[in-house]
Structures are given as C-alpha cells and as structure tokens.
Structure 1
Amino acid sequence: MSTSPQAVLDLTCALIAQRSNTPDDAGCCEIIAARLRPLGFTIEYLDAEGVTNLWATRGSGRPLTILAGHTDIVPTGPLDQWTSDPFTPEIRDGVLYGRGAADMKSGLAAMVCAVQRLLAAGDFPGTLAFLVTSDEEGMATFGTQHAVRLLQARGLVPDYAIVGEASSNERLGDRIVVGRRGSLGCNLKVIGKQGHVAYPHKGDNPVHRLAPALAELVATRWDEGNAHFPPTSFQISNVHSGTGATNVIPGSAEAVFNFRYSTESKADDLKARVHAVLDRWCPQYEATWWHTGQPFLTRAGKLIDAARSAVAHVVGVAEPELFTGGGTSDARFLAPWGAEVVEIGPINDSIHKINEHVRVDDLEPLSRIYETTLRRLATP
C-alpha cells in the first residue's frame, strides 16, 4: 500500500464504493484487514448476529492503544436528490462525494494510512489495535458493545482510544470530542377510554391526560450542567393519537421523548422524576424505556495533550475546542472500559445528509493528525 498523499483518498474511495448499509459491512473490514496484515497485525473477527467486528492487534503489553470506527452507513435517502451516485465516489471542485465520505470512511482510511507511515519509521510501544464495527448507525447491540464484552472477558483494559468520527465543525481540527452526554429514551402510552366527543363524561380522553404531563416535563429544569456539559436536555420527538375519525375520543395517546443528560444526572433519577409527573396526570400508562449510553468525560491527560499538540502541529489550530455535545458514538462503550477517549475526524456538516462529502485536501492532514497523536503517545 502506498504512503503517498493519494493513499488516503484511494482507500476512502474504495470504502465508499462498498454498500455497507447498517449493519452490513459489505466487505469493508476485509479491505482494511488486507492493509493491516502486511504491517504485522493479527486479524480476528468478533462477529455476532450478522454484525462484522474487526479486532486487529500488533505488539503486546501496555499501553493498549485503540483506533476505533465503523464501516456501516445510514440509508442514502432519495437517490434522485443526489448529484451523483452515493456509492460511486466522485470529486467535484476539490470535494469528495459519497455516502460515508465523512461518517466515517475517510476517518478509517486516514487511520490505516497513518499507522502504515508510523510503522514504516519504526516500532510502536505496547499494543496497537483497530476495533472496527458495522453496527454503529443501527442498534449498536452486537457491534462495539459486544466486542468490548468479549475483550473484557480476556482481561484486556485499554489505555487510549481514538475514534475517527466526524468531529470538526468549520475547519479540520477545530474540535476534539472529549466526552458525550448520556442518552435515555422512552416510548410512552397513556391509556384512556374511547367514546363520543359529544359525551366526554362517558369517556376518558388520554390526550387531555398526556398534554399537561408533557407540558410539565418540558418546563422542568433537570440539572444545571457543569463546566464540561450543558444542562440536561428533554426533547419530545413524536406524539400520536386518534382513530381517524373527528368525533371520537381515542382510547390511547402515545409519545416518544429523549433525554441527553450530563454527568450531573443519573438515568434512574431521571426516570423516577418522569414517573412522578406521569403519576400525577395519567391514571393509566405504560412507559418503555431504553438507555443507549452513559455520559462520559475524558479528563485532561496524555491523550488530550497529544491530540491537541498534533492538531496544532499539522493544521495550525492552536486551541481546538474540547467538545462534549452532539449525538452518541461508540466512544460510549470504550470510555467505561477504562480508556482515555477522544474523537477526531473531518468536518461533520454533511453527515447523514444528501450529497455527503469531505474535502479532499483534509484527508492527508487528518491522517497526519492521527500519526502525530500516536507519536506523541509513544513519547515517554
């Protein structure tokens, strides 16, 4: 594999061309594995339930440094709205278009090329590993979470993890993600009694029960946040009721809501406070909760120092923002495992959108940021 600046672009294009709709890896991990084997990596697959999980390691002992990412992509959306085929990489005016270009096939390609250059110049202390999954954009049950459980059972504990998610805001390297909020969601069904709207005393309108409960939940101040996180956010994403007729009190009303919560709150406490509100307004209801990640924060330490130094050295951003916003990522499974975790990647403006893209001129510098971060970590 070439170590020229073209190498990152070529590998990114090869990965974009694979139709890896979540959770189908579509051969992406094997493309990566084929690049790692000649570098001395031992290749192992920790697959489960149709999900591909690549675990590639080189070296032994501590520190254990992991480069992590995902090959799966979200659906393309309407193909007729794309300027070009989302699975045929195309460069226009210095911009590479294709599904997964930013999220996050360019990050993976940049990591692989960074490691090739790094190892060509000498050995790397401890164990260097890749953990790549095809189940990040979906349920994330049998992806990184599953692989971490298997690796924990072997007694492995990572020291550092770099996730190649699209983290930059307006220019490459202006943000480094050092934490994520927790995510807690609920499917709520409020049960009433169906009846005729002209005889409301003979029914029990669940919408009238649900509406004031949601109003109180929206108005609640859940916490004040802290120096690293904004206050916990409560958002309603769906409200549904009705029978299709205009003169019928429905028998039930449903809502879906989500918390993105800071380290100032705990999931069980948020649930208890919600149930206290629902108990006041809704005599009968069913609440089905899901919890997709605890909040985490990587404190100041060697990894953050290495990443900030690398960004300053490669792209001249002296003070990248240390960011904890945005959605969830597989970093939520790596941080509780014991690793210092950062997320560094390309500009995220186009992720999950029609005409997803990445700047061609950002690909090689991104790879250099990874390489330089690893070099800084290797320095005593």
Structure 2
Amino acid sequence: MIDNAPADPIPIAQALIRCPSVTPVEGGALTVLEDLLRPMGFTCTRLRFGPPDAAVENLFARLGDGPPHFCYAGHTDVVPPGERGWDDSPFSGLVRNGLLYGRGACDMKGGIAAFLAGLADFLRANPHPRGSISLLITGDEEGPSIDGTAKVLEWMQANGQIPDMALVGEPTSKVTLGDTLKIGRRGSMTARITLHGTQGHSAYPQKADNPIHRLIRVLHRLTTEPLDAGSEWFEPSTLQVTGFDVGNAASNVIPGEARAMISIRFNDLHTSADIAARIQAALDAEDARADLAISVSGESFLTRNDAFVEGLQRAIHRATGRDARLDTGGGTSDARFIADYCPVAELGAVGATMHQVNEHAPVAELRDLASLYRAVLEELLP
C-alpha cells in the first residue's frame, strides 16, 4: 500500500465492511488490518478477553518505541444490520453515486480505513518518523464495552505501551468534515431503585405501606431540582426517569414493591459517586426501604492539554480550511476509558447515517478524512 500514491481508503473500507463483524464477532476485520499494518513495519498483537464462548478480539499495533507516542483508537465491530430495508447486502461495500454503502461505512470502518490511508501517505513521506505510532482497535465498542478498550489499556499499561496522546476516530463532525473536535464527554450512569412497602387491600390502606406513593415522592425530589446549570465546557447535567414499574395487575391491591430506573448524564461538576449520594439522600429523606443499584458506563472527562488540542486544530485548518469548534456533547465513546491514561480527543467524519439502514459515507469525504489524518500525524510527530 505504501508504494501507491496517494493511498486510497475506499478499497480498505470495502474490505473491512465485507467482514461481518457484528459485536462480538471479529469476522476477519482485524486480520485485514494486520495484513495492511505489518508491511508498514508495525508489530501487531492480538488480545483476546472475555469468556471462551464469547471472547472479544482486539488488536494493538505499534511502529517505533520512542516518544512522543501517538495512538489512534477505533473499533471494527458494528451493530446488527437489521432484517430488512437494505437496498443491497449490508456487508457489500458497494460504491454507488459517490457513496460507499455498508454497515460500518460511517461508524467506523470508513474512519479506520481513512486513518490507514493517511498513515501510509505519512510514512511514505516520513519513513523514519519521530516518536512512535500505535493503533488500538477493539471489537467491543458497540457491545458491553467490557472486554475491549478498557482491557486493552490495562494490558498496555502492564506492558509499558501507554501513549502520550490518543485520537479516537469516531464520526464526530456534525455538518462538514472537521467542523467539530471533541475534547471531552459527559459521564453516564444508570440508577435502579427497588422500593419496598407492605402489600395490602386498597380499601384498607392503613394496614399497608404503599411503595408507589413513597417512590413518587423520591422521584419528585430528584427531578424538581436541576443538578446544575452547566459548566465552562459542558451543558447542564440531566436526570431522566426512564422506567417505572410495579407489576401489579389487580386494581384493588397495594403492591409490595415499586421499581424505577433513572438515566443520568453528568458534566465535570460531578462524579458518579456524587450523583449516587444525591439519590441515596432522596431515599433517606422519605424513610424509604429500598435497594439502590448503580451502574456507571463512564465518568465525565475534559482534555486540557493545550499542545495536543492546538496541534489537532492546526491539522484540521490545514487540511480543511476550517476552524474546528471544541465540543463535549453527545453520548459516550471509548475515549472515556483512554482519558484515565493520557490526553484524548475525538475527530472523524460526519456521522449522518451511523446505525441506520443503508448506512453510507461519501467517498470524497473519506478521502478528505485520510488527508486530515495525515495532517494530524505531521503536526503531532513532525
């Protein structure tokens, strides 16, 4: 691939799309990447984590061993295509009317292909680059995210492979390529409350303890007072009741328990522990006998490394002519794991059709993204 000028991301993206790598199946996608990276001089390491019957395949590849160490992170796993609605096979990788079609074209096999093409062009011009370059590619981003990036990072730390900076190639541009650079994400957590009462006849409420009434008061305490008004880089945190259930089919029975589910997206003014304490305080205020289960998919983070962020901004402007807006919106990504180890940002294509039927990416945009990623390497590893 290095012998061809310029490197084209489209054949690479097609090869990846044709691998049916629905989480947690590897589907041959990591093999495609290894076959491209080894001739460039990369040392490739397959990392397998999880139960034997559903283990996740991951790939770590590195070129060079000195500082600064730049890491590109992404995922080859995709969400299921669904059973109907596609004009062609979701794993066809067809190009039609200037668009590349297939599951992962947008999120994010197209992005990985663009990075490899940009990397090939960079190495052609810089056969002995300063520092080192690595790729952290997981097969567990669209799934539970247990046996993917988080486990690979633990392995990297144990083996002296933690980078100085990392770029996640998620499709983060909003309208045009390079208009947005993500430098942080909100935290995300779920709270499940099971509030216990005393079952009884609705005609004799004095002989029962209605958990529904008590749970409603708890939720009222949690939803009437905003968590905050936002911070310098983040929008206000949100707390949304996403489930309420008592499993009661009888109209004349006061149930013995009531359950609620709450989804919280929080900014850098909070930690998950702070939010959990707030929920527990609302339960305590109502003398609630309750079980509280908290699951945290990620803490909020903000990358404040000026040299890294400014280098990315220069690369975006040089490749696209745009001044990227620094942003922290949206859901979560694997950047939440990387942020515990090194400065991390997110930069990729426009995510207009990710997870949709007939997912596609403009061919021209993927080629422009390859040029952008080459500019990133030139700025950060001059």
TM, length-normalised to structure 1: 0.93
SS in 1 for 2:263: strand
Q: String of CA shifts for 1:189-218, please: whole Å, max 9, x gaps.
A: 112233333333333322222222112211
| 1:378 match | 381
Say whether residues 1:309 and 2:314 are aligned partners.
yes
Aligned pair 1:151/2:152, yes or no? no
Could you list the runs of 5+ residues in structure 2 that have no partner in the other structure?
none
Aligned twin of 2:348: 345
Q: Distance in 2 between the 1:198 and 1:93 partners?
A: 69
- Matching residue of 2:338: 334
Q: Counterpart of 2:92? A: 88
Aligned to 1:38: 39
CA 1:223–1:138: 2 relative to 1, 3 Å: same
Query: CA separation in 1, counterparts of 2:6 and 2:205?
Result: 71
Rate the CA distance shift 1:6–1:373 in 2: closer, same or farther, 3 A.
closer
The one of 114, 120, 123 aligned to 1:116: 120
Q: Are the equivalent residues in 2 in contact too, given 1:190–1:282 (CA < 8 A)?
A: no
Q: Which residue among 340, 343, 358 is the counterpart of 1:355? A: 358
1:245-301 superposed Cα distances (whole Å, 9 cap, x missing partner): 344333222222122111111221211111010122352111111112121111252
3-state SS of paired residue (2:240): strand
Q: 2:281 aligns with which of 276, 289, 304?
A: 276
CA distance in 1, matches of 2:33, 2:66: 23
Query: Whole-Å Cα distance in 2 between the matches of residues 342 and 288 of structure 1?
Result: 31
Aligned length, in residue pairs: 376
How far did residue 152 of structure 1 move?
0.9
After TM superposition, give the deviation of residue 34 of structure 1 in Å.
0.6
Q: Give the Cα separation in 2 of the matches to 1:22 and 1:372.
A: 31
Amino acid at match of 1:105: K
Preserved contact between residue 166 and residue 344 of structure 2 (Cα < 8 Å): yes
Counterpart CA distance in 2 for 1:91 and 1:239 is 46
Structure 1 window deviating more from structure 2 (340-349 vs 300-309): it is: 300-309
* Distance (whole Å) between structure 2 residues aligned to residue 16 and residue 55 of structure 1: 20
Question: Structure 1's 244 and 101: CA in aligned 2 closer, same or farther, altered over 3 A?
Answer: farther
Q: How far off is 1:43 after superposition?
A: 0.8
Give the distance between the partners of 2:228 and 2:207, measured in 1 at CA.
41
Task: Note the alpha carbon deviations across 1:91-124, whole angstroms, 9 max, x for none.
Answer: 3432222221211111111111111111111221
Q: Which residue matches 1:178?
A: 183
Conservation of the 8 A alpha-carbon contact between 1:64 and 1:158: yes
Q: 2:73 aligns with which of 68, 71, 84?
A: 68
Which residue matches 1:99?
103
Give the letter aligned to residue 346 of structure 1: A
- Hey, what's the Cα distance between the residues in 1 that align with 2:7 and 2:377? 21
Q: CA distance change for structure 1 residues 85 and 209 in 2, over 3 Å: closer, same or farther?
A: farther
Q: How far apart in 1 are the matches of 2:76 and 2:249? A: 42
Q: What's 1:196 paired with?
A: 201
Instruction: Give the deviation of 1:5 after TM superposition.
Output: 6.2
Q: Is contact 2:166–2:345 with CA below 8 Å preserved after alignment?
A: yes
Preserved contact between residue 197 and residue 211 of structure 2 (Cα < 8 Å): yes
Q: In terms of mean alpha carbon deviation, does 11-20 or 125-134 score higher?
A: 11-20
Letter of the structure 1 residue corresponding to residue 369 of structure 2: L
| Residues 148-297 of structure 1: pairs in structure 2 closer than 5 A | 148-281=153-286, 283-297=288-302
Q: List gaps (5 residues or longer) in structure 1.
A: none
The two structures, once aligned, show a CA RMSD in angstroms of: 1.8
Please give the secondary structure, in 2, of the residue aligned with 1:273.
Answer: helix
CA distance in 1, matches of 2:192, 2:258: 11
Which one is further off, 286-295 or 305-314?
305-314
Conservation of the 8 A alpha-carbon contact between 1:167 and 1:177: yes
Q: 2:367 and 2:103 mapped to 1: Cα distance?
A: 19
Percent identity, aligned pairs only? 39
Which letter maps to 2:362?
R
Deviates most, 55-64 or 230-239: 230-239
Q: Deviations over 1:41-96 (max 9, x none)?
A: 0011121111111010111111111011011112223x223333222223343222
> Conserved in 2, the CA contact under 8 Å of 1:44 and 1:56?
yes
- The equivalent position to 2:137 in structure 1, one of 124, 132, 138, is 132
